[in-house]
Structure 1
Amino acid sequence: METYKLPSVKLYEYFTQKNVNTDSYDETCDMLKRRFPGLSDIYDLCRKLLFNVETSFNEEEEEKFQNYRCTYLHYWLNDKVINTFNLYDDGLYLGILLNLYRTWNKFVNTLTSAKFRCKPDMITYISRNINVFKFKEMYDYFYNYEEFNRNTSYNPNECNEICEYLTDIIANFESFKTECSRNRNKCLQINNFFELYDPQNLIDKFKCNAEKLCMTAPVAVKADESPPEQGKSLSIPVKENVNDFLTTQPTIITYHNVMSFVIVPLGLVIIFFTLYKYEFFEKIDKNYIYNAVKSLNYSETEDLSAENSFINCDIQLMGEKEKRVCRKLNSLISTLCSNNSQSPKNYIFSNHDIEYLKFWVNFEIKNEGLIGNGDIEDLSGIIKEQMSECCSKDTMKNILIFIDPQDLNRMKILNNLYKNYNEMHEIIFSTSSEGIQKCLEYSKQCVTEYNGAIKQYRNVNDYFYNALKNFENYYKKLYADALGKNKHFEKYIEKIPRQYQISELSFYSIEYERNKIIFISLLGSVFVFIVVLIYIYMVKKIITL
């Protein structure tokens, strides 16, 4: 007797059993094989994945069916990674999966003629906020429920298998329901999932007894017996082969339902974030941060001891470039922590510090020629469980977040500006004036960078434009403060040309205000001197009388 297979099992077999009859993916997957020399099966899995990405999506079908199938391709890959390599280590699991996702992402972008592209979703399917395995189990259950309810012909053996499956799933269903009630991010995006897909509904329908056996052949629920929004889904005809299973319509929550619920608060969050996403350059302790970063460039980065490190950089799956960034991050955090070891604060890093460190990691990864999102996820997946008092695990997670490339390029400009500004500030207000000659060098770099930014963004009146304007004000104020300390410093600070100035505050108004203050001070001194002379004259006159 043939063993009964759950509909979800047949679905995954569809992806697994595809015969890869092309060598188009050999070069791409061979690179992955070289990266994981101890995992020979990764080559075949990679080829199977890319073949499915290219061939499993029918351009004739509606986009909602394509999205549905793409969701299950993610779960198929998760399942294959775990079972193919017998993984019990989260770090190894994440490392393999992330590399496959990055290979997938590169490949799908080459499919220029495809109308639908199934792209890897690294955020949803590799997340510390959800249990991917529980999500897979519930999505599989959802798919199986639809098929159980739709099919009208089961033999006794199949019916018993279904009863056993439904009875066993109850505990996990209730556990998932509890987690969802506490955090909506941990819910499936399916309308009324817990009400409409309660296993007890089918247990009653199949008349499963205490021994998990089917007491009677079930009758499919008619379309008009189901809730209105489910009627169409349940009236779809029975599928006869594995390929047909892939076109089953999901009862997934619609785009418009989601957007109507989140658009307003999400819009406010985006506006708030955009307003302040460049502000941290102004707010950080520049001397503290930039000196720590500078120390990395003048010293050899060494591996910290296991108890002092924040990320495990020795993981076998890491390339040399990733390890280099990892070690530098460990060293930077360690330096910042040791510099503040006497701090009375309960936490070391402010939100502005964290934002800067997030920029720094993204910049270093890009500088090494790495992809960005995947590599940051790699680092995020190997944060140590036990952290030092200085830097919590949550802090490190907030640092290891991907930044959009356009924002990163803008932040790089601001970083160069404030880095040179900080060098100038240190020289101007040092106790010695021996290094004042260097101030002009940093000043010229500042003005050149600023002029280039204004040329590019003068006509883009956005929040980055305002960030540039704020820097201009900082620079002009530094100029005024420098002249206030020593008027001879003027020749060591280059002015921003008038055609590139966007701030209402000008160097000339600063000079005018400074000269006015000096004039008033001198005038006051003269007035006091005259009053004193008059007083002396009057005293002498009184004495002579």
Structure 2
Amino acid sequence: YIFLRNAHYYGNLPTGLDTEEFRKSREDNCDIFLTDINLTGNKHVKEICDKFIYMYYYLNNIHKERDTDNTITDEDCHFMNYWLNVNLKNDDMGAPICVNFFYDKLRSKDVNTFSNSAKLEEHLHEIESGNLKNMQLLYELYDTKQKIVNDMYGEDITDSKMELCKEYTKECHDKYIEGMKNCLNGYDDFYNALKDFKICYNYAVEWDPEDLKNCKSSPYFNLPNYDSVLERKQKKTMLIQSISTPLVVLFIIPLLYK
């Protein structure tokens, strides 16, 4: 779940490395790719193809000044695996496409772009549906948190911006509770990731001294102390105590009459 800390960055990659020539190349390669997998004319899959090629290209070229052949990090690979899982299982797909199948077929049509030594294929796998749902929720939390930060420190202090900030805080508040409830089904790693998010949120948002947008006036500004896992452990402890106490008494009473 660590890579999701950079959700806002990955979800808003700049278009600065795009060119007309590269757009034409992507369109041609995606058309060939769609024909190869018998989805000619499928606009949704073509859009996924186009966005994925640009994402890979951007992450592979953004740090070329490092003089290294590999600028794609493990976190980049984890995000691309997550992104493909989300988009290739979308309801608009009709039938889901296997992540590894998608990448293998696409790479064979665009060898020049996918020539990085990072070997993305080693990071690709199908994410279990429960984990994927939790990842999407954590992605939304980090993305919304950054929107709140941007609004709080932005120079636009109009009424609409102030209302937008309050909407974001409610969204964050509700998503956090939803995530905690999901932890009742297990997912210890996700539970720890949520706790880490709360620390990050507190540091970046709650401690802002200026609050020009008056975001703190929202009743949802502070994340709740709700902890479903802790509550369950406490209830379990109380239940054990309530059951064990009468049993102890039953053992002690006979001893008193010996």
Taking structure 1 as the reference length, what is the TM-score of the superposition? 0.34
Q: Which one of the candidate residues 209, 221, 240 is aligned to 1:494? A: 221
Give the aligned partner of residue 360 of structure 1.
83
Q: 1:439 to 1:335 in 2, by over 3 A?
A: farther
Give the aligned partner of residue 66 of structure 2.
344
Q: Which one of the candidate residues 263, 272, 290 is aligned to 2:11? A: 290
Is 1:305–2:24 an aligned residue pair?
A: yes
CA distance in 2, matches of 1:391, 1:490: 48
Give the aligned partner of residue 329 of structure 1.
52
Q: RMSD between aligned alpha carbons?
A: 3.5
CA contact (8 A) 1:311 1:379 kept: no
Tell me the CA shift for residue 323 of structure 1: 2.8
CA contact (8 A) 2:3 2:79 kept: yes
AA matched with 1:462: D
CA contact (8 A) 1:410 1:464 kept: yes
Give the aligned partner of residue 256 of structure 2.
none
Which structure ranks higher in relative contact order (CA pairs < 8 Å, sequence separation ≥ 6)?
A: 2
Q: 1:394 to 1:349 in 2, by over 3 A?
A: closer
After TM superposition, list the pairs within 5 Å mapping 1:92-491 onto structure 2: 278-282=1-5, 284=6, 286-292=7-13, 304-306=23-25, 312-315=30-33, 316-318=35-37, 319=39, 320=42, 321-336=44-59, 340=62, 343-344=65-66, 346=68, 347-367=70-90, 368-369=92-93, 371-372=95-96, 374=98, 376-384=100-108, 386-388=111-113, 392=116, 394-398=118-122, 400-434=124-158, 435-458=161-184, 460=186, 462-482=188-208, 484-486=209-211, 488-491=214-217
Which entry has the higher C-alpha Rg, 1 or 2?
A: 1
Deviations 1:317-353 (A, max 9, x none): 3311433321221233345567x26653633322112
After TM superposition, list the pairs within 5 Å mapping 1:66-105 onto structure 2: none
Q: 1:502 to 1:404 in 2, by over 3 A?
A: closer
CA distance in 1, matches of 2:119, 2:153: 33
CA distance in 1, matches of 2:67, 2:87: 29
Give the aligned partner of residue 121 of structure 1.
none
Deviations 1:487-508 (A, max 9, x none): 74412562223335879xxxxx
Taking structure 2 as the reference length, what is the TM-score of the superposition? 0.66
Q: How many residues align?
A: 213
SS of the equivalent of 1:450 reads helix
SS of the equivalent of 2:24 reads coil
CA distance in 1, matches of 2:157, 2:199: 24
